[in-house]
Amino acid sequence: MNGTWAMVFFDLVIVVGLVSTAKAVTDRIENDAARWGWFIALSAVLIFALVAVPLRVMLLRQRHLMVSAANQARRAAATDALTGLPNRRTTDEIVQALLADGVPFAVAICDLDHFKHLNDGFGHDAGDKALRVFAHTLRSVVRHGDVVSRHGGEEFIVILPRAQKCHGADVLERARLELAVVLSDRPCPAYTFSAGVADTSETSEWRHLLELADQRLLHAKRLGRDRVLASIA
């Protein structure tokens, strides 16, 4: 409030100064009618040019900054800070929208193999780099419109609208092969991932879909890791 009143007082001082300037200039005019006409016109021009326009520019700039800050806050709330991927909450919202619209989809849960060993053996910086590389690899193999998100820790979710689990398994298999190629060209520790895939033909409940995909992920781990499973034989 104090700052607002200070700004109001400052603007008032400027307006008074401009009006005084206009009066000093127009006082030299002998004709009363002309003098008052020029005084009003000059005051209006000075106030418009030196107060109204700068104030408008400042308000527009403040509005732009507020909108930008609000957008940044929204993005921060919707994305994972490390990878830039949508976070778990955003993924849930996307899934609920797909279910509400009756759009079938496949879901894959991916988990980096022995990630704790990677963190402990090479440090958290190496672990963070591994997560970012994996996120980039997943995004490189999916279609436009597919969703790759970080579910938490070393776990990632891939949503493939209008796809069945066999297609999802093919996409994740490409990601598995692509990751090996990417890591062979980088000075970083090698690692692999495992994944389980399910689709809405098996159940239309999101929680059950995740449970199915997670069961297949765990089975992939038990079979030796570094593999993608869309079923448990």
- Residue 37: CB atoms within 10 Å: 13
In sequence order, the 6+-apart residues with CB closer than 8 A to the CB of 157 are: 88, 91, 107, 108, 109, 110, 147, 148, 149, 150, 151
Please give the angle made by the CA atoms of 136, 141 and 146, to the nearest 5 degrees: 90
Nearest of 183, 150, 163, 156 to residue 81 by alpha carbon = 150
Residues annotated as catalytic (active site), given as ranges: 154
What's the CA gap between 59 and 55, in Å, rounded?
Answer: 6
Query: Do 163 and 98 touch, CB atoms closer than 8 A?
Result: no
